[in-house]
Amino acid sequence: MSGISFVKGHGTQNDFVLVPDADGALAGRLDEAAVRRLADRYAGIGADGVIRVTRTETAAEVREQADDAEWFMDYRNADGSVAEMCGNGVRVMARYLWENSLADGPVLTLATRGGARTVHAEQDGQITVEMGRAKPAATRQLAFVCTAGRTWEAVPVRVPNPHAVVFVDDLDEAGSLTTQPDLRPAAAFPDSANIEFVADRGHKHIAMRVWERGVGETRSCGTGVCAAAWAAMRRDGAGAGSRYLVDVPGGRLVVTERPDGELLLTGPAVLGLRGTVVL
């Protein structure tokens, strides 16, 4: 079987295997089993997720975004499951398109399952993504996260992936996070959720650990950082235009909420290993 090209990249050490597929020819080959093999850290390349970089017009599920976005980020978690989008992955894919002359100018719009996302190249080398508005849970039912023998009340919110944000005094309270924490009640999280444990570091400055559905604990999560910052802004009574620093094990990101509610995620994106792999 012929090999396929790949590029490895990361955003605050949330790492991805990017598979270039401009004409959509690899859509059928990159099934759940293939994604799991690529993402396996012991028997594959190793990554938190796999991004198929393809033109929007080749993907029926997002073709309505083709007028605004030439490229589609077909994102899969490490276990092969489909995700709405990935805030760190969007930046890494944008970096790939710019560095390979597949996109012009400092502003780029990408199609995702969570809607079109506009990306800006900053003068300092950072990349900012317009992540959309946070959508809190429609129900007033209380939600909880349970792990390490403890239970915390959670803030359910979509950005656009589902999240459960928990505020703790110390990030170590979450324990080893080698197994998925329980989400209760299950009805509050019909699609499961990423789980963020958040601790204060200072004025408009928080730190976070995250358990990502379909992956496990990761070094960073872009949508999770946005969910955590949004929840902290509401807790703190922060006004429009607030800017929060968010430290994750893999680095630091910045979340700004515009007056219209749009969340902006700013951080690094790095490309590294390139090669060919046989699936």
Which amino acids are annotated as binding site for substrate, given as ranges? 14, 77, 87-88, 161, 194, 212-213, 222-223
Report H helices in 63-139: 87-99
SS3 readout for 33-51: HHHHHHHCCCCCCCCCEEE
226 is catalytic: no
184/195 Cα distance (integer angstroms): 12
Specify the amino acid at residue 267.
G
Alpha carbon separation from 89 to 9, 103, 190, 265 (Å, rounded) = 9, 16, 24, 12
Q: Which residue in 34, 38, 39, 86 is the catalytic one?
A: 86
Give which of 234, 241, 178 is closest to 206, Cα–Cα: 234
- Known binding-site positions: 14, 77, 87-88, 161, 194, 212-213, 222-223
86 is catalytic: yes
Tokens of 214: 């379909």
Q: Which residue in 195, 221, 265, 269 is the catalytic one?
A: 221
What 3-state DSSP class applies to 186?
helix
| Active centre residues (catalytic) | 86, 221
